Amino acid sequence: MSHVEQGEHDATNAYQSLSETTAHDDPRWAFGTGFEDGLSLGEAEITAPVPEGVDAADLAAYCQMLGDDALIYSQQLSEWVANAPELEEEVALANTALDLLGQARVLLARAGHVEGADRDEDALAYLRDQAGFRNVALAEQSDELDFGRCIARLLIFSTWRLALLHRLLDSKDPVIAAVAGKGVKELTYHRDYAARWALRLGDGTEESHRRVQAGLDWAWPYVEELFRTSDEEHRLIEAGVAVDPAGTREEFDAVLAQVLDRATLTRPEVPPVGTIGGRSGRQGVHTERLGHVLAEMQSVAREHPGATW
């Protein structure tokens, strides 16, 4: 936090008494928790110096990659809120989305700081266009309220992200290492949740087996991109900041094999979605889904720029 707050209480403001947050004299951004929060998200860490020998632009891009995966996946998973088959599953999926959103906020705050272009986490989330997002295509797909798809996509995503974050515990960037420290704990139970449901559905009834297998077949074309290494990552691996996503493939395959075998599911044999001249999500080239995601996610922020309450 860059400024000092006074513990003032305005007795004439009826709204203050609606919450205990009477110390807040500053307006809050109407969407997200805004600039103040961006600054106070652990100044000591968010503003840590760029590790020696690391290009700031590369680090900002990498934080965006890891942050955008979490942000966009979180947004898409939130489609299940008020739509899940059971209340317990709704709570589980909303909790998972919340964990990912928390990871995204720190990573985007770090990206904004390192970039030095006066953009905070909210500016990055709400004011970038499609080409500015660096998430993988899997994150931006919609489950279309099909629980088989939901479980297949979450199994793939959480297995991959856990493998990545586990390797990032020793990242030379202190913010990435800190996010990994918390994220590993969270992704571990996200993956367990998805794997247990895959087992229950795959080895369940004929219908549940068919549905989760169809979900896997649908999600599988987006798997290959997860293990493609971008130029920024190549450079940051050398510097000890990033890990090579290609190096997580073996672990990913082993975990998926373990789950699919027990669940009597079949590993899909389908061609991956193509790239455009070798470019895909990491380079800002997306499937048409991202436009829909951003239209929804950014609508309030774009309609009322800088609104506060």
Binding site for another protein (CB under 8 A): 1, 4-9, 19-24, 33, 37, 40-45, 88, 91-92, 95-96, 98-103, 105-106, 162-163, 166, 174-175, 177-179, 181-186, 188-189, 191-193, 195-196, 199, 251, 254-255, 258-259, 262
Q: Closest approach of Cβ 116 to another protein, in Å?
A: 21
End-to-end Cα spacing for the chain: 20
Closest distance between another protein and the C-beta of residue 187, in Å?
Answer: 9
Nearest distance, CB of residue 39 and another protein, angstroms: 10
Nearest residue (CB) to another protein, 38 versus 284:
38
Please state, in angstroms and rounded to a whole number, the distance separating the CA atoms of residues 239 and 262. Answer: 40
Q: Which of 140, 110, 112, 114 is nearest to 127 (CA)?
A: 112
Q: Which is nearer to another protein, 111 or 137 (CB)?
A: 111
User: Which CB, 6 or 271, lies closer to another protein?
Assistant: 6
Nearer to another protein, 139 or 184 (CB): 184
Residues 6+ apart with CB under 8 A from 283: 134, 230
CB-CB neighbours of 187 under 10 Å = 25
CB of 294 to another protein, least distance (A): 20
Q: How far apart are CA 217 and CA 211, in angstroms?
A: 10
Q: How far is the CB of 54 from another protein (least distance, A)?
A: 18
Q: Which is nearer to another protein, 45 or 55 (CB)?
A: 45
- Amino acid at position 179, single letter: V
Q: Could you tell me the smallest distance in angstroms from the CB atom of residue 309 to another protein?
A: 14
Nearer to another protein, 60 or 164 (CB): 164
The CA–CA distances, whole Å, from 209 to 109, 193, 222 equal: 41, 17, 21
258's tokens: 């373990």
Cβ–Cβ under 8 Å, residues 249 and 229: no
Question: In angstroms, rounded to a whole number, what is the distance separating the alpha carbons of residues 250 and 258?
Answer: 12
